[in-house]
Structure formats: structure tokens, C-alpha cells
Amino acid sequence: MTFAHGPRSDSTLEVVALGGLGEFGMNMLAISCRETTIVIDAGVMFPEPELLGVELIIPDLTYLQQRNGVDALILTHGHEDHIGGVPHLFRYIRGPVYGTPFTLALLAPKLEEHGLEATDRLRPVTPRDEIVAGDFRIELLRVTHSMPDCVALAIHTPVGTVVHTGDFKIDQTPLDGEHVEFHRLAELGSSGVLALFGDSTNIERKGFTGSELEVVNAFEEIFTSTQGKIVVTTFATSIHRIQILIDLAAQFGRKVAFVGRGVVENSQIAERLGRLRIPSGLQIRDSDVRHYPSQEVVCIATGSQGEPLAALSRIAIDDHRHVKLAEGDTVVFSAREIPGNEKAIGRVMNHVARRGASVIYEGIKHVHVSGHGSEEELKLMLSLTRPRHFVPIHGEYRQLARHAQVARGVTGEKTQVLLAENGDILHFGADEGRIAGKAATGRVLIDGTRTGEVVDEVLRDRRHLAADGLVVPVVAINAQTGTLEGVPEVITRGFVVDERSDVLLREVASAIPDIIETASLEERTDYGLIREKIRVELQRLFRKRAGRRPLVLPVIMEI
């Protein structure tokens, strides 16, 4: 599709961020013109500790329902904060899902877990390919990041061209030799970019983000000085980092074992697609680690964020079936700390130290580089594209605001900066861009099954249980006469039992016969009515006697 006569003045481009503005994660951007709606990325966010029992957070999709679905979903790369929400969005997608081969290979198992048959809907694309979706022509441009197969997007619309950077940094020495497509970005800037949506993650870091190869020197020191086994934990999607470790293992005569489901599966996918090269005979199974001298082994493990069930956490407490730590071993944390995980990571490090192993992390040696561009790289993106409008995306509000400030310094009055938040409706015409209103947005909490939404009432109950505990009165009632049979039993969970509360619980047990006796025959012979009466009266008793509000769940057995 071409727009030979330039932007159409009778069209309006509508852009709404459903997530990713004012937060890290949950990235999702909807772009609409006339009858066409496309979505860029569909990510998740991981919950704070106070969201009890919540495993994932996804954006509220009401806006897309109101748009009658999505004509195409385009994925910029395969990180969870960009693809983790696809299974939940899938029912609203009436067209294909586009992504690079590695991105779609990471997505496919997620769809299978949710019972979604999507093979015919997943369309692999590569940089410089073009996608046509209704009124849009989307061009894929290669960028460098912390994983392979990442792209930016040039979206050609009836109103003008929109550039979406995806997550990127400018790595001048990429491990796979695939550079950022500067020349095409510059061509787009010369021909005119209506709007740039730019990654803001690292705007607060001065200068340039280092190349992935910068970690090689630090790891060479570790390989040279470590007498025992080396265990490195990193994100399972950090394929470039894993390749560096494999190359060093081959250089220093060590075998490589992948430990943990995530890194095992992702390395297999990457090797199958030619994105990871493992020399023949170098890799061993985790169950074979014990059969090799410690100085001949490198383990690449999951658990860089201190996840309690991940491989490194189990290794650290000496609970892993195959991998054990000993004095002389070295454990390297080669990943950034996601905010909120500091305590969990610290606990794992302490456990590692108790095993007698050395702990190395970014604060000690240069064992990690970011996958996001720092301030100078973000300035370069603005200079190359020279957009008429600029919208900072991907980051908390302070990052977006800082990126907006930097953009004004780079482009001056030539660019209008729109500092938007989730749900802001951006309207772009041939001659203007503005925030035109607010769409319905929010967060949907997904519980551990990854299928059910956690509504406010459920979350409130979980907090209630965590604060005041649970009291279960077990009562047997004659179904015919409504009389009490036997002695009521009171079971507690999470309710502090001391001398004072023990007296209270005995009082609760003795109050139940009185509650039943004062109830009418109709109440006593109706399971629902008598259960509710006991619950209300006992909650009143707890509140009056102890100022506590445990969750009271009576169990009525009809005899």
C-alpha cells in the first residue's frame, strides 16, 4: 500500500497506550485509523508483594473491545513485558500475529499452555519485511537489544509515518553482526516522520550503554581465577550473554550445563533457529555435572531475581538434585535487579556464601550491561528521525518526563512533545497532534492458574486473611429438628493463639449453641441462613472482645 499523494487531510490517526506509560512492563499500544486497528506488543507486568496470590498483571482490554477487535498484532521482540499478555489478548485479534522467528518461537509455548491453537495465525517476519493491515503498511527495522531478533517499526498510515522504537540500544559491535538500521531511520527522517514513540527506560543514564562484548573481560577474569565450578545466573532470554559464556567455556576447557527449565527451553529454541552456537561435545546435562571435576564445569542457571523455585535458589540452599556448591566455586549474578526483588536476591546471595562459594555481581565486576539505550542513544534516535511529534514510552513517569525534556533540547520547536499516560487518546492529523480524551484503561490481575482474573473482592479477602487469619467453626445440626448435635469445633489458621486468644476461642465455641438456640426453626433447618447467622454473630464477638476481624467461614454438617 502506498500513499502517493502524501498524508490525507480527511483522516485522523488515534493512538492509545493501554500499558507501558508510567510503569515498567505491560507494554501495549493500539493504533487506529478509520476501520483499522493494530496493536504493538502485548506485555505483562509482575506484581508487587502486597498483591497476594497474583501472578501476572495485564492491561484492561475494554478499549479494544469497543474497537471491535484487532486487525493485526505486531511484536517487537520476545521479552515477557512485550509478549506475556498475548494469550489474554488473543480472543480480540481477528487478524495475524506478526513477529520475528525467535519472538514467535518464544510465544508459541505460551499459547499452547492456554489451549490456544494458533499455528496458522503466527506469521514470521524479518527486518525490512513489510506488513499490510487495512489502512496501514508496517515496515520492520532491525535494532539491537539484549536478545536476538528485535525490531523497530515504521508504520505508514494515511496521515503520515509513525516510528515505534521498541526496546533498543545502539550496539556498535553486536555479537551476531546485525546492526541497527541507521540509514533507513535517517531516510525516514528525511522524508518526514509524523510521530516517534521512543523507549525511555534508560533516559536517566548519561552517555552510551555499553556493548554486550564489554562483559567479556570480567568473565575472562572469573574463568581464569576460579578453581571450582562457575555458576552464572542471567535472564533465560539473554541469548547473547549465554553465547559469550559458551565461547569462554570452550576457550577455557569447561563443559556447559543449562540448569532450570527456562534456560534449557530457550537455549534449545535459539540453537534450533541458529541464534545460539554450541560446539559439539561442549554441552552436558545438569545430571552429569557431578561426574566432572568442578574446575571443568560452567552452569548457566535460572533465578537471577531470587525466585524461590528457580534453579539457583534451590542450588543456594543445597536442595538441587544435581548441582551442589562448595568452597572454591563462584556464582555470578549477570542481570539487573528488577525493582522490588532486591531482598529476594540478597537472600540467595547469603545462602550461596554459606555454601562457601564466592558471589560476584555488577557492583563488584562488570558482568552485566543493559539492553536499553542511554541518554546519548535516545538523542541520536531523535536526531535521525526528526519527528513532528514525540511521545515518550516504556518507563515510569519520571523517565517519560525526563525523555520529554531531553527531546525538547534536541529538536527545539521543530517537534511537539506529547507527555502521555496510559489511556490518553492521542489524535494525529496531517497538521496537528493532541491529547483528545481518555479511554477506559486499567489493570487486570491474573491468579496463579493464569486463567482467572483476581477481582477486588478476592484481593480484599486475601489481604484480610493475611492480616487477621481464618476461623472455621465446624457445627453439626440435625436436619429435621435443627438441634445441635455434639460439641462444636473451632479451627484456626493464621490466627495468633496465646493465653488471651485461647480464652476467646473457648468463648466462641460456647457461644455457638446459644446462637443456634436463639435462631428460629426455619433458620436452623436452612443451611444458608444458619451459616450466615453464625458468621455474623461470631465476627461481632471477635470485634467486640479482641478488636480483630478474622475471616469466619462456618462449616455446617447436616445430620
Hey, which residues are catalytic here? Answer: 199, 372
For residues 44 and 24, give the distance between their C-alpha atoms in angstroms, rounded to a whole number: 9
For residues 315 and 153, give the distance between their C-alpha atoms in angstroms, rounded to a whole number: 42
β-sheet bridge partners, residue 163: 154, 196
Strands 13-19 and 424-428: antiparallel
Give helix 239-251 / helix 261-272 axis angle, nearest 10°.
Answer: 90
Eight-state DSSP code of residue 143: E
Tally of CA atoms within 13 A in the half-sphere of 356 that contains its CB: 10
Asked whether the beta carbons of 220 and 248 are under 8 A apart, the reply is yes
Eight-state DSSP code of residue 521: H
Cβ partners under 8 Å of residue 510, min gap 6: none
Cβ partners under 8 Å of residue 225, min gap 6: none
Cell numbers that stand for 220 in this block: 575472562
For residues 387 and 162, give the distance between their C-alpha atoms in angstroms, rounded to a whole number: 9
Cβ partners under 8 Å of residue 51, min gap 6: 57, 445, 454, 459
Strands 416-417 and 387-393: parallel
Strands 424-428 and 433-438: antiparallel
